[in-house]
Structure 1
């Protein structure tokens, strides 16, 4: 009988590729990949101040709402991961669900969005490290006009350099660092929940009903404020597909990847939700302006509850979480670039798809993505409002990329073409069965609604500070339209005539 590794290698051959990547990732490492990308400690601590500032303490209602919507998407992805455990999962799934053009657009949108997401995520260092030790503020003293922005680029660039080196060295080192980091993050999250719970000074009802006057005088009232505040949760709960993107490097991927996807988003919801709720229950004054300050936020709440010494230990854990989060984002982006290059769907495809024979990992994509991420970071130095807009746009593009999977999947179901003809006779361990259609419908409706909410031209999101420009306020539609248009034109006019598995990778 074949081992799970041999079964995975044979399965990849049935998909048209030969096995070149290093299949070493086990169950916990696969789960850790999804958890570290979502990274509850990174996301909640980075965006808490925005959510409270926009919607008051009651914004925490957005957390379970976003979870339910994203769970529908995750269930669809889990079903696909069980059938097609291939690198660059979204891109390869859409190849089988829709047209080659749709698949290329899904890969293009996810690839460009992920590079910007890496740049945006490394900025979380600036929120945490200077509070941990003042020496991390290496540019000025933090009071200058551009001190914080420039220092964020310095710290972020150092982190990108680290993730580039780790990914270039090989998946074994990446998996070990990621797994240790996630273990620390999970332990820290549980301890933070316990400390915040013991520090509670009010019940959950007071938190869940406190709007702090947000929405007053607006046309939609609190609903308008809540839709803005929901972005704080929407910005966090994605990336669970990372476990499936590393399917070619996962042992028994058909069984492991689907479970990792569901467990990652569920664990993130439970731990993150409890941190937000107990954090607000432990605050002495729910109207404290520090809660909605980018220099205060949830870090301020934790330091107040745990005290300076213990609080800084937790801040160090948050720094670890940020590190492995960025490592996971970089890793997933590499797999997407590799998967598209292997199909000769990117410029210089042969070089980008080359796998180092010793490290069994694509090195050039790791370096190129790192360079591009640092280039995007430089935008933050003098134009922070532009970077904020681009960061929001990147998240919208990821939601759009998800739609480019769930919509073709739904059309396949409605046309009676699902489940797709099996590419091999291997077992499939996860299926939605008769629940597939309603779950898929909800996934599409949720994805479309959330993408529209994220892209809506709100000045407080896309152009919060002066100078005010119409193109910044409408940046999501302008920028995404330009990226999609340029990508589509490039593919239709040039790349589609070259598409085909490179000889070095063909089974």
Structure 2
């Protein structure tokens, strides 16, 4: 039996006909998760945020968030082996809990992914004008908070979204090639940053114990928790390998491994970048590290030419990050539309027979992200608050998977699936006797981070103090999203509850001839 035949038979066991084209291999699957996290994009974009609130000691928020998210990823890897389906957060949640919980997990994830596409695309403004002033197409001030910088950011971001939408419409094969190439360059860039900065260090690794005057002992807890938002903003999206399961060869074998590898590579690479940047920064007290972040360190230590070469790599990382997030978002829309539980489901669930790609969901996600970008013109503070809240939604969607999973584990999950194997005849990835403990830690971490992310803080959501409502924006936006979702769900509740999709295929995937187990 061929690989494609085995994968198709496995998908039919879940109640779906294979429509998407399976052309993603192991490295491309890894690249999907790694590029969503995109440490070059997000660490460069947010380093100053973490440092400004927590001083050099904010470094410790990185390993803490990484370990918490790794607990989540271990659970996701186990689910990816058992439910290799597009729109995985929605699919996992509805099969572990019920149609209502699953629908809200998908709804929240779609909103979060659309806003995250905009947040990633706007990062071009942080990078491109520093490479060449000609990229400042509007006005002369490139700062995101200025009128000209905000307008230019929207323009650059919109151009990028048009290009990523075009790639997604053309097909997953082109997306995978571009994404894999971009990730390779990003990994090279991360290694280069670490190595080159190591040759230009000013101080030792003990700098990570310096709170920068932000407090000591108990008084440092508050600043530390705020600075932890930087790492929380970065370490998300590793589930993208699961989102592309129906387009991945041998997904039961491949997706669990690439989810964990993508997160591990991001965690190690990002942590080392933070450490060497703190060690190599020309000054920790002149204020530039908090306002200019890593680009300041690179151009100061490596010179204009060396710094700009690495900034070009960062720009590439921004592009592939935007592409990966949009792809994941479009698969979530497709997966829910295929079940008929979204507006215009018939159109959104259509797959182009020539490219094997759901084109309209990619266009919808791209158009939504471009619309979000427009908020930045004249309302930069609102856009910043919006992109901050989208991470709360991502964590909420994750919790709508890990909490039902923990309940199911306590009741004996995954009983009945022990006989199933991967496409290569190996055992499915399993946490075994550690499942409940790992799952419980993931739930506690997720709930704690949702509270930390969503807590009303003026310094996070309204640092300029210009709009009172921004102070409570996380509560307002999340509440509004859930309310809007509730109203939409009333329209599709009957359809959602009437779906009787198998929780686990009755058939055991066959071993693929000629493939190693």
Give your verdict on TM over 0.5: yes
Q: Look up the match of 1:419.
A: 414
* Mapping of residues 215-254 of structure 1, within 5 Å: 215=215, 221-254=219-252
Q: Look up the match of 1:301.
A: 297
Contact 2:458 2:465 survives alignment (8 Å): no
Q: Look up the match of 1:181.
A: 182
CA drift of 1:72 comes to 0.2
Change (3 A) 1:187 1:255: same
Q: Look up the match of 2:268.
A: 270
* Mapping of residues 22-33 of structure 1, within 5 Å: 22-33=21-32
CA drift of 1:4 comes to 2.6
Change (3 A) 1:448 1:140: same
In the alignment, structure 1 residue 159 sits paired with structure 2 residue 160 = yes
Contact 1:90 1:405 survives alignment (8 Å): yes
CA drift of 1:448 comes to 0.2
Distance (Å, rounded) in 2 between the aligned partners of 1:312 and 1:263: 29
Q: Look up the match of 2:512.
A: none
Change (3 A) 1:110 1:325: same
Distance (Å, rounded) in 2 between the aligned partners of 1:114 and 1:178: 17
CA drift of 1:486 comes to 1.9
Distance (Å, rounded) in 2 between the aligned partners of 1:424 and 1:177: 38
Distance (Å, rounded) in 1 between the aligned partners of 2:246 and 2:394: 22
Unpaired segments of 5 or more residues in structure 2? 506-517
Contact 1:11 1:424 survives alignment (8 Å): no
1:58-95 CA-to-partner distances (Å, cap 9, x unmatched) read 10111100000000000000000001110000100111
Q: Look up the match of 1:314.
A: 310
Q: Look up the match of 1:494.
A: 491
CA drift of 1:460 comes to 0.7
SS of the residue corresponding to residue 380 of structure 1 reads coil
Comparing 219-228 and 318-327, the one that deviates more: 219-228
Q: Look up the match of 2:71.
A: 72
Distance (Å, rounded) in 2 between the aligned partners of 1:230 and 1:368: 32
Distance (Å, rounded) in 2 between the aligned partners of 1:152 and 1:66: 29
Contact 1:282 1:305 survives alignment (8 Å): yes
Distance (Å, rounded) in 2 between the aligned partners of 1:213 and 1:7: 60
CA drift of 1:227 comes to 0.5
Comparing 356-365 and 418-427, the one that deviates more: 418-427
Q: Look up the match of 1:4.
A: 3
Contact 1:37 1:240 survives alignment (8 Å): yes
Q: Look up the match of 1:38.
A: 37
Distance (Å, rounded) in 2 between the aligned partners of 1:351 and 1:284: 55
Distance (Å, rounded) in 2 between the aligned partners of 1:159 and 1:288: 34
* Mapping of residues 275-286 of structure 1, within 5 Å: 275-286=273-284
Q: Look up the match of 1:196.
A: 197
Q: Look up the match of 1:479.
A: 477
Q: Look up the match of 1:150.
A: 151
Q: Look up the match of 1:208.
A: 208
CA drift of 1:479 comes to 1.1
TM-score for both structures, normalised by structure 2: 0.93
Contact 2:125 2:142 survives alignment (8 Å): no
Query: How well do the aligned residues superpose, as a CA RMSD in angstroms?
Result: 1.7
CA drift of 1:388 comes to 1.1
Change (3 A) 1:50 1:291: same
1:472-497 CA-to-partner distances (Å, cap 9, x unmatched) read 11111111011112212321x22011
Distance (Å, rounded) in 1 between the aligned partners of 2:280 and 2:82: 45
TM-score for both structures, normalised by structure 1: 0.95
Change (3 A) 1:143 1:190: closer
Contact 2:179 2:323 survives alignment (8 Å): yes
In the alignment, structure 1 residue 445 sits paired with structure 2 residue 441 = no
CA drift of 1:329 comes to 0.2
Distance (Å, rounded) in 1 between the aligned partners of 2:212 and 2:282: 14
Change (3 A) 1:479 1:423: farther
Distance (Å, rounded) in 1 between the aligned partners of 2:44 and 2:448: 25
1:229-288 CA-to-partner distances (Å, cap 9, x unmatched) read 010010000100000110000000001000000000000011111111001101122112
Q: Look up the match of 2:138.
A: 139
1:424-444 CA-to-partner distances (Å, cap 9, x unmatched) read 944343000001010000000
* Mapping of residues 109-128 of structure 1, within 5 Å: 109-128=108-127
In the alignment, structure 1 residue 462 sits paired with structure 2 residue 446 = no
Contact 1:160 1:374 survives alignment (8 Å): yes
In the alignment, structure 1 residue 400 sits paired with structure 2 residue 389 = no
Distance (Å, rounded) in 1 between the aligned partners of 2:180 and 2:6: 25
Give the paired residue count: 495
Contact 2:50 2:58 survives alignment (8 Å): yes
Distance (Å, rounded) in 1 between the aligned partners of 2:499 and 2:328: 20
Distance (Å, rounded) in 1 between the aligned partners of 2:415 and 2:241: 22
CA drift of 1:173 comes to 0.2
Contact 2:121 2:160 survives alignment (8 Å): yes
Unpaired segments of 5 or more residues in structure 1? none
Contact 1:5 1:23 survives alignment (8 Å): yes
CA drift of 1:310 comes to 1.3
In the alignment, structure 1 residue 362 sits paired with structure 2 residue 358 = yes
